[in-house]
Amino acid sequence: MTSTPAPWTDTPWTARLVLDDGTVISGIGLGATGKAAGEVCFNTAMTGYQEILTDPSYAGQIVTFTFPHIGNIGTNGEDTETSNLAARSGVRGCVLRAEITDPSNYRAAAHFDAWLKSRGIIAIAGIDTRALTARIREHGIPNAVIAHEPSANFDLDALKAEAKAWPGLLGQDLVPDVTSGQSYSWDETRWVWGKGYGRNENPEFHVVAIDYGLKRNILRCLASAGCKVTVVPATVTAEEVLERCPDGVFLSNGPGDPAATGAYAVPQIRKLIDAGMPVFGICLGHQMLGLALGARTRKMPQGHRGANHPVKDTATGKVDITSMNHGFTVDGETLPAGVVETHVSLFDGSNCGLEVTGSPVFSVQFHPESSPGPQDSHYLFTRFVNKMRERRGAPAKPER
């Protein structure tokens, strides 16, 4: 793969992306200066770059955007997805095809380059992202170092050694880097055109959300579904959760290897299931629920990241177009008796959902909060509320 100068600019190559096989890709440095090691993945979404780069699930990763025009709508103070504002962005860097143009959107409050600098995110632009994506699809996800130095002076031997030595995400518990250090309440509801965000002033249910790297729009969807939400750190015990007398428990998304985080989280999840709690998991929460039920997880060659992933409901045959961001998956062939596979990916047949027969426990691999992405699966939050409603002896309401 070569990195010939982009035809639209005379900007010097002040950034390098150095892969663990020794490949060096030169480009235009943007955002923060310095260097960072991470796993190079790609995301196919055409919108939502701010949400993607603030999603805690991307901790330890360098995101390659396949859509060429990233940054042209600017950034704002409302579309940040991390719920732990005390933490810096978990993402290690981003890779772009084109340089950033001036923002052209009525909601823009800051230029994307300035926003990257403010969050300490290194970016490289002017490279062939199609070739890089094809390489990942054919050979799997590489580890790499992304570096930005305005002087363009790089110690390439040192960068190659660092990229080769970086351990990767397998076996890594990255949740401590992104979880909240204390509990807090949440009542903000989903964004409505012309009104912005609202408040849930009359909650019907109380949900404890365990923060493994929680996204704000998940919290908003829970509040919009009628829930008062109490967010608690990832290291919370089942006893501490049950002391809060919740109607249900939510297991959030997050980064890293589910088996590593599961070393301390899975025993607590098992206790919550045994206590009869309605439980809903998303992404990492789904994977750790699978582990708690006796299944196994595995690392995927490329993972699924984008806003156009078709997922089939195995019971109804209905297909949702979903948003995804994961590099690990529950091995559907290891699901024990009494645990049903509810959703599968139509791209590769991998597991995308499970449910415990006769129990108010279920989870999905994809992101029904749709930030960014389609809203096909918002009904899953109503399904969770219905399980809490039925536990009270009340009838379920139509899913919507």
**Active-site annotation, residues:** 283, 367, 369
Give the three-state DSSP class for 357. Answer: coil
The single residue listed with the structure tokens 């919370």 is 236
> Of how many residues is the chain composed?
400
Task: For 8-20, give one letter per residue: b (16+ CB within 10 A) or e.
Answer: eeeeebbbbbbbb
Other C-beta atoms lying within 10 Å of the C-beta of residue 110: 15
Q: State phi, psi for 141 to the nearest 5 degrees.
A: -75, 125
Cα 6 to Cα 226: distance, rounded to the nearest angstrom:
51
Among residues 215, 216, 178, 180, which one has the least CA distance to residue 61?
178
Give the three-state DSSP class for 364. Answer: strand
Q: How far is CA 11 from the centre of its chain?
A: 33
Helical residues (DSSP H) of the chain, grouped into ranges: 49-53, 112-119, 129-139, 156-165, 216-224, 238-243, 258-274, 284-292, 379-391
What single DSSP character describes residue 118?
H
Report yes or no: 264 and 222 within 8 Å, Cβ to Cβ: no
131: amino acid identity, one letter = A
The single residue listed with the structure tokens 């509990």 is 183
